[in-house]
Amino acid sequence: MTDLLKVEGLYKTYTTGGLPWKRNRVHALEDVSTTVQRGQTLGLVGESGSGKSSLGRCILGLTQPDAGSILFEGVEVQGLSRRALANFRRRVQPVFQDPYGSLDPRWPVGRSVRESLDNYRIGTPADREKRTLELFDRVGLDTALAGRRPTNLSGGQRQRVAIAAALASEPELIIADEPVSALDMSVQAQILNLFRDLQGDLGVASVFITHDLGVVKHVSDKVAVMLHGRIVETGETESVMNRPVHEYTQRLLSAIPRPSSNATTIHTAEEN
């Protein structure tokens, strides 16, 4: 496999506090390097403040790093022309933690799924409508839900809509930032199963950001463990899970609730 995404020597510092004498510099990323191959899922793991979400935002172009490079298919993402950036954003899509926050509450959810098809003028209007309903079916949602607003759906259903919206433009890479942490355990299992199935069926690469190594175990081919803005351990998932080297990784593994990690392997019924 070839590298679809390559991050090299990334640095990002934030300044916090409004008053000059109260300002602090927070080093969110320090010399971070990693790769994602085509069709591969990279599990990016760490506690709150470890820098994992900052890395995801930099990859998406929502935050500019202070130094380093982000290469997509060998092309530097920073400094892309407007047209090239639009193409990049079509091919690299986000799925955020809060599905309600990522869906316009004024719109029927079908319109949110169709939005990127309209923006990129993919197919005819009839093609877009057909594709929207196909996406609902693909993520396990009744197509009748397309006319409902986000407030009329459960959390799990909203996250499935968000995933359908991310898939609409047929991306090659998805950046999923804590996509199951706001859901209860049974719905988490369903969404994790969905991610795993989509990877197998569609071959979409992904960066799956989470604080839970137990989650990563079931969806990732490769793991990168982050601590204080640095990647402290990386490797194939099975190797990291069974033979962790860094003490921080060992601590994360010891915190996995055993019953919940087993539960994620079960394909459960659809949520209401």
Alpha helices in 103-231 (DSSP H): 109-119, 125-138, 155-167, 185-202, 213-219
Tokens 């899922």 belong to which residue?
A: 41
Question: Which segments of the chain have a pLDDT < 70?
Answer: 1, 18, 21, 258-272
Indicate whether 137 belongs to any domain: no
- Beta strand 173-177 with 75-76 is unpaired
Quote the pLDDT of residue 270: 40
Per the domain annotation, does 150 fall within a domain? no
C-alpha to C-alpha distance for 64 and 5, rounded to whole angstroms: 16
* 108 part of a folded domain: no
Across 222-261, b (16+ Cβ under 10 Å) vs e yields bbbbbbebebbbbbebeebbeebeeebbeebbeeeeeeee
Q: Would 225 be classed as within a structural domain?
A: yes
Classify residue 88: in a domain, yes or no. Answer: yes
In this structure, is residue 39 part of a structural domain?
yes
111 within domain boundaries: no
Range of the domain at 188: 3-52+62-99+172-263
* pLDDT tens track for 12-30: 999 887 677 677 889 999 9
198: CATH: 3.40.50.300
Number of domains in the chain: 1
pLDDT for residue 258: 62
Return the amino acid letter for 80.
L
Q: What's the pLDDT at 259?
A: 52
Does any domain span residue 110?
Answer: no
Q: Are 195 and 206 in contact (CB under 8 A)?
A: yes
pLDDT at 54: 97
Contact partners, residue 214, CB within 8 Å, separation at least 6: 256, 257, 260, 261, 264
Burial class (CB in 10 A: 0-12, 13-18, 19+), 175: buried
